[in-house]
């Protein structure tokens, strides 16, 4: 089979890694990279032996598919241009800034028979993938995504920047509709929310407590799932999975019997797995695991959280006379 012709639109911090991964794939031709910062596009292009473009629209007639790694505020416009051009898209999360924009992208992709894959990278974290077979009936989920401050992705608040990863994972774990959301959050460094907590309660009674921050002193990315007779812990960064199972009876010391399974997958590259999956979906015309519909679902919950935080903050400021 001929190589799949792919381009990367936006080659800043994350986009350059997309370009590097594609350039190393034998079944892919990295046709070019596009970025309005010509110095950046030329540097990434030279490193990956491809062509640099200042305007992404000049790249579109030459490719079968693209990764869109531009700022979130540009996803909708770039995505529409690509889909109108008959191009499949791998779109970094969040897929858009509003649910309405996401709906327009999904509708156009259906009409044009094009693929939208949304870059919820944690779905390809090998520890998360290994966790799936151990899930039974989650009752309580606790997630912490705590990051040090980085001067990027500041066009969106911390919910769309970080929490949306955890929202997506939790929605895929809990097989029930979301019933209620309770939130708290506030801006600290930027003009948007920098630290937030959301409590998600589902129709089946499962509750998820999600905390995110991008202004901390340490980096922590962990997920814990409590379910009948077992406990699951995932360290996203270390790619470690721990499953503790409760057995019948007690041991000689009078302690409950249990089994402990610990696995580490540090050698597996999640981004490479995600992009290889995208290439396979493009070549085989298969539906992505995280298609536009899943990206929209996570965006909808994230939007509800953001709106609720804004309402709470406005009430608090009114009470203080600010």
Give the chain as a 3 state SS string: CCCEEEEEECCCCCHHHHHHHHHCCCCEEEEEEECCCHHHHHHHHHHCCCEEECCHHHHHHHCCEEEECCCHHHHHHHHHHHHHCCCEEEEECCCCCCHHHHHHHHHHHHHHCCCEEEECHHHHCHHHHHHHHHCCCCCEEEEEEECCCCCCCCCCCHHHHHHHHHHHHHHHHCCCCEEEEEEEEECCCCCCCCEEEEEEEECCCCEEEEEEECCCCCCEEEEEEEECCEEEEEECCCCEEEEEEEEEEECCCCCEEEEEEEEECCCCCHHHHHHHHHHHHHHHCCCCCCEHHHHHHHHHHHHHHHHHHHHHHHHHHHHHCC
Asked if residue 308 and residue 159 are part of one domain, the reply reads: yes
In a domain, 295, yes or no: no
With a CB cutoff of 8 Å and minimum separation 6, the contacts of 214 are 147, 148, 149, 150, 158, 161, 162, 194, 195
Asked if residue 259 and residue 127 are part of one domain, the reply reads: yes
pLDDT in tens, 61-117: 999 999 999 999 999 999 999 999 999 999 999 999 999 999 999 999 999 999 999
Q: What is the pLDDT of residue 227?
A: 96
Asked if residue 179 and residue 234 are part of one domain, the reply reads: yes
In a domain, 257, yes or no: yes
* Cβ atoms of residues 11 and 19 within 8 Å: yes
Give bridge partners of residue 241 from the DSSP assignment.
234, 263
Q: What is the pLDDT of residue 153?
A: 60
Q: What is the pLDDT of residue 190?
A: 86
Provide the mean pLDDT of the chain: 94
Specify the CATH number for the domain of residue 283: 3.40.50.720
In a domain, 318, yes or no: no
Which of residues 157 and 66 earns the better pLDDT score?
A: 66
* Cβ atoms of residues 103 and 130 within 8 Å: no
Asked if residue 48 and residue 10 are part of one domain, the reply reads: yes
Q: What is the pLDDT of residue 116?
A: 98
In a domain, 298, yes or no: no
Of 165-169, 184-188, 293-297, the one with minimum mean pLDDT is: 184-188
pLDDT in tens, 272-281: 999 999 999 9
Rounded CA gap, 22 and 7, in Å? 9
Asked if residue 222 and residue 153 are part of one domain, the reply reads: yes
Asked if residue 284 and residue 243 are part of one domain, the reply reads: no
Would you state the structure tokens that stand for residue 289, as one six-digit string? 């695991």
Our count of domains for the chain comes to 2
Which of residues 167 and 315 earns the better pLDDT score?
A: 167
Give bridge partners of residue 219 from the DSSP assignment.
none
In a domain, 296, yes or no: no
Burial 274-305 (b: 16+ CB within 10 A, else e): bbbbbbebbbeeeebbbbbebbbbbbbbbbbb
Residue 180 has pLDDT above 90, yes or no: yes
Asked if residue 146 and residue 204 are part of one domain, the reply reads: yes
* Rounded average pLDDT over 172-192: 92
Q: What is the pLDDT of residue 163?
A: 96
With a CB cutoff of 8 Å and minimum separation 6, the contacts of 318 are none
Residue 158 half-sphere exposure toward CB, CA atoms < 13 A? 31
Asked if residue 144 and residue 49 are part of one domain, the reply reads: no
Tokens 């001929």 label which residue?
Answer: 2
In a domain, 37, yes or no: yes
Q: What is the pLDDT of residue 322?
A: 53
Asked if residue 80 and residue 138 are part of one domain, the reply reads: no
Of 76-80, 129-133, 216-220, 279-283, the one with minimum mean pLDDT is: 216-220
Q: What is the pLDDT of residue 313?
A: 80
Asked if residue 64 and residue 88 are part of one domain, the reply reads: yes
In a domain, 297, yes or no: no
Q: pTM for this one?
A: 0.91
Q: Which domain holds residue 262?
A: 123-268+303-313
Specify the CATH number for the domain of residue 208: 3.30.360.10
Asked if residue 219 and residue 133 are part of one domain, the reply reads: yes
Asked if residue 260 and residue 129 are part of one domain, the reply reads: yes
In a domain, 129, yes or no: yes
Would you state the structure tokens that stand for residue 218, as one six-digit string? 């340490």
Rounded CA gap, 223 and 64, in Å? 36
């Amino acid at each position: 089979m001929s190589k799949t012709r792919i381009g990367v639109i936006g080659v800043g911090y994350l986009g350059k890694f997309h370009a590097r991964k594609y350039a190393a794939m034998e079944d892919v031709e990295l046709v070019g990279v596009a970025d309005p910062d010509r110095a950046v596009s030329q540097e990434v292009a030279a490193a990956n032996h491809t062509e640099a473009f200042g305007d992404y629209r000049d790249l579109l007639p030459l490719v079968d598919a693209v990764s869109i790694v531009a700022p979130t505020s540009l996803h909708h416009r770039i995505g529409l241009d690509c889909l109108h051009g008959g191009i499949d898209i791998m779109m970094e999360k969040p897929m858009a800034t509003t649910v309405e924009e996401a709906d327009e992208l999904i509708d156009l992709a259906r009409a044009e028979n094009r693929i939208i894959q949304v870059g919820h990278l944690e779905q390809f974290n090998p520890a998360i993938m290994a966790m799936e077979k151990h899930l039974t009936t989650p009752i309580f989920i606790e997630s912490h995504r705590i990051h040090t401050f980085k001067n990027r992705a500041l066009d969106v608040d911390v919910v769309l920047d970080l929490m949306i990863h955890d929202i997506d994972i939790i929605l895929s774990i809990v097989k029930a509709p979301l019933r209620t959301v309770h939130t708290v959050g506030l801006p600290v460094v930027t003009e948007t929310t920098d630290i937030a907590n959301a409590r998600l309660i589902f129709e089946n009674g499962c509750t998820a407590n999600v905390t995110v921050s991008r202004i901390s002193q340490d980096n922590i990315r962990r997920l814990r799932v409590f379910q009948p007779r077992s406990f699951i812990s995932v360290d996203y960064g270390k790619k470690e999975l721990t499953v503790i199972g409760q057995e019948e009876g007690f041991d000689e010391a009078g302690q409950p019997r249990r089994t402990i399974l610990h696995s580490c997958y540090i050698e597996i590259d999640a981004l490479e797995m995600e992009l290889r999956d995208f290439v396979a979906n493009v070549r085989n015309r298969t539906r992505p695991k995280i298609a536009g519909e899943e990206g929209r679902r996570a965006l909808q919950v994230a939007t509800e959280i953001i709106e609720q935080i804004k309402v709470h903050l406005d009430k608090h400021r009114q009470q203080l006379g600010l």
